[in-house]
Structure 1
Amino acid sequence: MNSVMKYILVVVVSALVITSGIVLYSIYKQSPSGDLNYISVVYQNGTKQMINLNNSNSYLIRPDNYNGSTYSFSTPVVKIVSLAPSITSTLYGIGAYDKVVGLDPYSTYPPNSTLPIVTSNSGFDISLEEIANISPQLVISPGLGYYPANEENSIVNTLHIPFIVMNPENVQQIENQTLELAQITGTTGNATLINAWMQSNLQNFSQHLVNISKELNVFYYLSTPGDWTAGNGTFINEFFTLAHLHNIAANESGYYVDSGENITVGEPQIILLDQYVNYSSITVPPFKSTPAVKQNRVYTIFNDNFFNEPDFRVIYAIGWLISKAYPENFNLSDISQYPISLQYPPDYNM
């Protein structure tokens, strides 16, 4: 289960709970007023680095009775708990995985991790006991409201461990997140190389698509039951834009259940199936009469973590989309080599 699938499950459960008269914590986790966008870290050589988390749409939860405008770490950050697959992947990609001491259960890259899992209840709750046992200097969480606010606040105000919520919403903010995590861990040089690699490939995509005048219509079948899809304001919608595709579900925002009208009216020429959606789902109306089904242009994405997790590996997701939509213009081999040497390269498990 990736972050978006977990988000969908949280939405469904929340709807059931709310209709039962029970209040559940917020689905969308936005920066509360008063939380901190600036942190200061110190490196082994004694130099300090100021970091503006706002550049990646992120923040540090303000501890009770903390009146400063910047949270300062007095010692180098060498023990981090990652509660998001995208954070784990980025820390590995920038060469800072040796500083990770605990994970959420959905972090699969790098594979074969032996690090302790610090969540419970199938990943829906943070185990405060595990966090206390590990005693990290920093906990980093995604920003989709995965974890109850009381658990986050207990980490901050009972265990006195800093807690950052990272919530990048587009490719530029993903690059900023990469840089910020590198600044925290002292691997800024690697982040600079990675962001340059991302920009170079995005420019390469654009050059390969420059002669395509009309976008193809696309529908992303994200999950069942119900025809869950991704609308405006989602990562996948930005990927479609960068891949010169028109998302027929972009007339609504966020992740939602499509009524079928978009599919009938939009006539998708390409349908993307999440890896957990069975092909039989599109052999019935309104899908079976679409140009995508008639022309056999239905593709199952290779690994939804590449599409739904906000980290540098989205370059492979966008490249794959272009290679499927416009195979005469682009091939996956056109993506340049990742600039950092890793035991498991970022295209692992594609």
Structure 2
Amino acid sequence: MSLLPRVVLLCCLAVSAGTSHAETLSVTDDSGAAVTLAAPAQRIVSLAPHVTELLYAAGGGARIVGAVSYSDYPPQAKSIPRVGDNKSLDLERIVAMKPDLIVVWRHGNAMRQIDRLRELHIPLFFSEPHKLQDIPATIDKLGHLLGTEQQASAASSAFRRDIASLRAHYANRPPVSVFYQVWDDPLMTLNGEHILSEVIEVCGGKNVFADLKPLVPTISTEAVLAANPEAIVTATPGATNSEHALPSLDTWRKWPSMTAVARNNLFGIDGDLINRPTPRLALGAAALCEDLDAARSRRPN
């Protein structure tokens, strides 16, 4: 080979290496691990319903090749091929889809199966938002991995504005003590580290069980009666949960002396809006804020 072809070849390799380096995309996921891609993700598998929503918000809905059960929002997500649910995954089908990125719900998916996917060296992004600010942050990170930063930024900015508006509107309202009921048998609630506890705070509420451990503690009826909350809130069936019975608050009417019961402050909010850490949580927060304002209006003069 003559000198000139060799120089041209070396220059081409250098340009190629520089292009590859320029296209490298890296973010830190919710587990604290770095997720690095050589180029924007084109074939994505979503392993949680909230992840599917976040990917659509980030501009990557059309690139999702597989998703788990109940990935039903936006409506077009219902047509995405299924790869299992939060308890069991179809690993063979996931691998056959040749994903270049898998987005995982860290505490929802079976970790043993996730470890097997990790062994195949498929990039994994763990999503586990703990605070309201984590939702727009995740959208921005996914947008970076997708190369859709502009659309992701629009969605994340809108969510930040909505939450900031609610905070400002309810910042000076008298506090309302709130018991959030996750389940009725056994009786379960949320502590102050859960993202929904922050939603309660945004609305000027106070989680009466904020100091308990763990994240979703089991409590007794006597504990609720002793706390005597001014409002009791729970999730009601949304589109996702229409086939499953969610807990009812009617049982609390057995104790008419409890403030929440005496003032009829028993509130249900669409579970799809209040239980998923997605942009729609701003709608769930707005509904909760209206309910707590109704509780304030029912206070005796």
Alignment TM-score, normalising by the size of structure 1: 0.70
1:118 is aligned, of 63, 68, 83, to 83
1:148 is aligned, of 91, 104, 110, to 110
Q: CA deviation at 1:47?
A: 4.3
Q: CA deviation at 1:272?
A: 0.9
Q: CA deviation at 1:94?
A: 2.5
2:140 is aligned, of 166, 179, 191, to 179
Q: Which residue of 2 aligns with 1:138?
A: 101
Q: Any residues of structure 2 matched to 1:1-350 within 5 Å, and which?
A: 47-48=22-23, 50-54=25-29, 57-60=30-33, 72-111=36-75, 113-119=78-84, 123-144=86-107, 146-157=108-119, 159-212=120-173, 214-253=174-213, 254-275=215-236, 276-285=246-255, 288-302=256-270, 304-327=271-294
Distance 2:54 2:258 in 1: 38
1:264-308 deviation line (CA, Å, top 9, x unaligned) = 2221111112211123332334xx431111111111112x13222
Which segment is superposed worse, 307-316 or 75-84?
A: 307-316
Q: Which residue of 2 aligns with 1:39?
A: none
Q: CA deviation at 1:327?
A: 4.8
Distance 1:202 1:186 in 2: 26
Distance 2:70 2:153 in 1: 27
Which segment is superposed worse, 271-280 or 246-255?
A: 271-280
Runs of 4+ in 1 over 6 A off after TM superposition: none
- Kept in 2, the 8 Å contact 1:82–1:104? The answer is yes
1:217-236 deviation line (CA, Å, top 9, x unaligned) = 11111113121111121111
Q: CA deviation at 1:262?
A: 3.4
What is the aligned length?
Answer: 267
Q: CA deviation at 1:181?
A: 0.7
Q: CA deviation at 1:140?
A: 1.0
Distance 2:268 2:81 in 1: 32
Q: Describe the shift of the 1:74–1:179 C-alpha distance in structure 2 as closer, same or farther (beyond 3 A).
A: same
Q: Describe the shift of the 1:221–1:149 C-alpha distance in structure 2 as closer, same or farther (beyond 3 A).
A: closer
Report the RMSD for the aligned CA atoms in angstroms: 2.4
Distance 1:87 1:153 in 2: 19
Q: Describe the shift of the 1:52–1:294 C-alpha distance in structure 2 as closer, same or farther (beyond 3 A).
A: same
Distance 1:280 1:328 in 2: 17
Amino acid across the alignment from 2:259? P
1:165-218 deviation line (CA, Å, top 9, x unaligned) = 122210111121110011111111122222222222223213322442x30111
1:41-100 deviation line (CA, Å, top 9, x unaligned) = xxx99943543315xx2355xxxxxxxxx6542343100000011110011123210010
Alignment TM-score, normalising by the size of structure 2: 0.81
Distance 2:118 2:232 in 1: 44
Q: Describe the shift of the 1:202–1:147 C-alpha distance in structure 2 as closer, same or farther (beyond 3 A).
A: closer
Distance 2:155 2:281 in 1: 12
Percent of matched pairs sharing the same residue: 22
Q: Which residue of 1 aligns with 2:241?
A: none
Q: Describe the shift of the 1:52–1:133 C-alpha distance in structure 2 as closer, same or farther (beyond 3 A).
A: closer
Distance 1:215 1:323 in 2: 13
Is there any run of 5+ residues in structure 2 with no aligned partner, and where? 1-18, 237-245, 297-301
Amino acid across the alignment from 1:323? E
- Kept in 2, the 8 Å contact 1:217–1:245? The answer is yes
Distance 2:96 2:25 in 1: 29
Q: Describe the shift of the 1:168–1:49 C-alpha distance in structure 2 as closer, same or farther (beyond 3 A).
A: farther
